[in-house]
Structure 1
Amino acid sequence: MQSMKAAVLVEPHTFEVRDVSVPAIGPSDALIKVERCGICGTDMHMFNGHYAADKLPIIPGHEFSGTIAALGGEVTHLKTGMRVVADINIGCGNCFYCRRNEILNCTEMRQVGISRDGGFAEYVSVPARLVIAAAPDAEFDLLALVEPVACVVRAARKADVRFGQSVVIIGAGPIGNLHIQMMRLVGAAPIIVVEPSLQRAEMARQAGADAVVTDPVTARDTVLAMTGGRGADVVIESVGLPKLYQQALTLIRPGGHIAAFGIAGVADTLPLPLLDTVLREYSIKGSVAGMGEDMHDALTLLTHGRFDLRAFRGVSYRLADIQQAFEDLPKRPDALKIQIEIGQ
């Protein structure tokens, strides 16, 4: 193998499908033949020039699945032909943060498809220690959803949601929908969703939301009415807009916290009511990517059918049409996920 097809994001809003060299692998690496790769909200931020613009040109794509095409000489726990997914977060493996599975804080951290070439290509190279084997008959479009599910697994862990705790989810896009389903799995109740899109609001109801607010002005009244006048134990901001983070502060109860998940702009800030934060013991916990055991748990949950993924499967584009796929995605509220078909 000398060359492969890859979608290179050369500048914001512009992909070029090029012939590029197949990535080299070292003795401890794996080369994955990519079959499917989903378009993530982070990819859209990159496409629009709002995130990781300093990394362009790059081959994006981090929600990928495929088969092992080749292995470095030191790799003994994997075999060629295995169906796999991969943890995209590459840390040094030795530092304080890596040991605590807080790899995003490692000073050497890189992410496949974000700070190094990713899965919108026929092949991608990753450290073999981050490759996770799946069942031989696992469907590639399902496996390509492991990474986004791992993100909500980690968010649930970080938020430390307990049985019977009330949760508000702001935004019912793809990740918001997965947050709803994750909150049902961990026993949250009630689950209240704030989503102005009527189509996605209905999807949120189907995903298991106990109440869906389509008029944000009425959100606080609804939350208070459903929580005994206290406010929510946890509010998950899943969009990334400062005004929605500001709204989240109005929806939590004293002692509650905000799970900061939505990616905001580099210069975006949140005016924080400091006295209220101290006296009412608010807290904010960030979470953005699944890693380590989160990926394994996500694969287990998907393998055993714990998520309803019908709205995430069935819409795909060929690699040659990736530019059109990115342009179409914002116009498709009915499709919670678009995947790129890469394997032939």
Structure 2
Amino acid sequence: MMRAAVLTAPGRFEIREVPRPAVGPRDALIRVTRTGICGTDLHMFHGAYAADSLPLIPGHEFCGVIEDLGAEVASLTQGQTVVADINIGCGTCFWCRRNEVLNCPDMAQLGISRDGAFADYVALPARLVIPAPENAAPELLALVEPVACVVRAARKAGAGIGQSAVVLGAGPVGNLHVQMLRLCGVAPIIVADLSQDRCRMALEAGADAAVSDPALLQARVLEMTGGRGADLVIESVGSPRLYTEAFRLIRKGGHVAFFGLTGPEAAVEVNILDTILRENSLKGSVAGMGEDMHEALVLLTHGRFRTDAFTRASYPLDRIQEAFESFAARPRDLKTQIVIGPG
């Protein structure tokens, strides 16, 4: 048996004793040390996402130590410190071969569509487990999955040297987008958020400008891009209004990156003729997978991200309800981590 935080209904966690996951011949059993609270977890907690999956053990931003291995696993050893790709596809279909696992017909996500890592142990296919440097701090390793998400988003958006970008939203993922774009050589980087605190934090993370008044945003973007508009706009909130705004902020030939999750019925009107004549583009991106995870691990363990605001807030597993309920009241804590076991 093991401890687990089960989300039994929106807004309600229960700490339960549940069976330890079974380990198949090609699986790894990981003793969890830390698990971060993701925006997706918060959406689930508030009943806005994956409500049909409940009751469920959420949690997917995790690190841990290998406890046990299936008989056919030869690439890993017990006691290794690891992180893991939480996107579980078949591994052989057209989409899996292209590192587009979320489109696999058999895809499942740890902590979203199957039990996850707000628990003492988690099991998953060993091919998805990634060894980490032994001296890496657990609080850093628990950030690999969210950083992988912005690695993938930057790649899919084609972010590059000297391009201009706007990030709509300066919350946890918006802040990571800013840092990722800076690593890609993007300049200038303009952030928009209603919170002045989070605007200041985005500036500290490397943004060139931050705008908290929506009425001033378009003029500021035009001012900083020679009157053209931005090469790239990333929506990181999940607001249809902001997605619509994104198309007003890009230049002719610019790109809108769809990232922030909305409800299933949300839609944005796009002027077809204008999009054609301006040769604008859009592309969706939601999760890091495959090589994105490996690259995120390298970037974090080599100090390429500022992580203080992501690692200072932590709660033990038995206080997970408090951690979720108090998050909105702690705007300067960009991430909250649940401490589950020793590193």
Give the TM-score band, short-chain normalised. Answer: over 0.9
Q: What RMSD in Å do the two structures reach over aligned CA positions? A: 0.6
State which of 318, 330, 334 in structure 2 corresponds to 1:332.
330
CA distance in 1, matches of 2:162, 2:312: 34
Task: Tell me, in whole angstroms, the C-alpha distance in 2 between the residues paired with 1:146 and 1:224.
Answer: 34
Q: Does 1:12 align with 2:10?
A: yes
Cα-to-partner distance string for 1:243-299 (whole Å, 9 max, x where unaligned): 010111110011101001000111111011111111111111100100000000000
Distance 1:232 1:137 in 2: 41
Equivalent residue for 1:122?
Answer: 120
Corresponding residue of 2:74 = 76
Runs of 4+ in 1 over 6 A off after TM superposition: none
Query: TM-score scaled to structure 1, two decimals?
Result: 0.99
CA deviation after TM superposition for structure 1 residue 120, in Å? 0.1
Provide the residue aligned with 2:341 in structure 1. Answer: 343
2:237 maps to which of 232, 236, 239: 239
* Structure 1 counterpart of 2:83: 85
CA deviation string 1:125-161 (max 9, x = no partner): 0100000001111111110000000000000100011
Identity of aligned residues (%): 64
Which residues of 2 match residues 1-344 of structure 1 at below 5 A? Answer: 3-344=1-342
CA distance in 2, matches of 1:211, 1:153: 22
2:189 and 2:312 map into 1 onto residues whose CA distance is 27
* Cα distance in 2 for residues equivalent to 1:277 and 1:47: 37
Aligned pair count reads 342
Tell me, in whole angstroms, the C-alpha distance in 1 between the residues paired with 2:109 and 2:41: 12
C-alpha distance in 2 between matches for 1:46 and 1:266: 14
Q: Please, which runs of 5 or more residues in structure 1 have no aligned partner?
A: none
Please give the secondary structure, in 2, of the residue aligned with 1:306: coil
Separation in 1 of the partners of 2:105 and 2:229?
38
CA distance in 1, matches of 2:250, 2:141: 35
SS in 2 for 1:120: coil
Quote how far apart the aligned CAs of 1:174 are.
0.5
Q: Gaps (5+ residues) in structure 2? A: none
1:14-72 Cα shifts (integer Å, max 9, x gaps): 11110000000100000000000000000001111111111111000000001000000
Pick which of 266-275 and 58-67 moved more: 266-275
Q: How much has 1:183 moved relative to structure 2? A: 0.4
2-structure distance, mates of 1:131, 1:111: 14
- Deviations along 1:278-336, one digit per CA (max 9) or x if unpaired, are 11111111001000000000000011100011111111011001011000111110100
1:93-118 deviation per Cα after TM superposition (whole angstroms, max 9, x unaligned) = 11110000000001100000000100
